[in-house]
């Protein structure tokens, strides 16, 4: 994967991090403290969101997640294999039969 593709993925993840924080990623943010402006840019470029995006990118591209497993199947976070099996139909809390 090229650096350009990697940066596009990190931007997407940073925008997602901003949205998950309840913010508009395209909002302009200016931070000023005692006359010093440490940040004046789009919200998704804020350091915290970029750091979270880079960490997510590293986790998603980790070799142990992308390499084949012993039985030849690839691991997928969406496969549900990491979840406990269902215990059956839910029962009402009052102890009566469903």
What pTM value is reported for the model? 0.62
Domain residue limits, the chain: 3-65
Q: Quick one: pLDDT band at residue 88, thresholds 50, 70, 90?
A: very low
Separation CA 40–CA 31 (nearest Å): 6
Whether the predicted pLDDT of 93 surpasses 50? yes
In angstroms, the CA 6 to CA 93 distance is 49
Q: CB within 8 A of 18, min separation 6: which ones?
A: 24, 25, 43, 44, 46, 49
What local confidence, expressed as pLDDT, does residue 96 receive?
A: 56
Tell me: pLDDT of 83 over 70: no
pLDDT tens column, 6-65: 999 999 999 999 999 999 999 999 999 999 999 999 999 999 999 999 999 999 988 876
């Amino acid at each position: 994967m090229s650096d350009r593709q990697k940066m596009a993925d990190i931007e997407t993840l940073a925008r997602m991090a901003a949205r998950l924080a309840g913010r508009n990623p395209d909002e302009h943010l200016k931070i000023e403290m005692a006359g010093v402006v440490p940040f004046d840019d789009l919200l998704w470029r804020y350091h915290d969101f970029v750091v979270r995006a880079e960490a997510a990118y590293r986790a998603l591209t980790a070799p142990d997640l992308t390499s084949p497993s012993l039985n030849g199947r690839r691991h997928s976070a969406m496969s549900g294999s990491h979840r406990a099996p269902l215990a059956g139909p839910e029962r009402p809390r009052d102890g009566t039969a469903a």
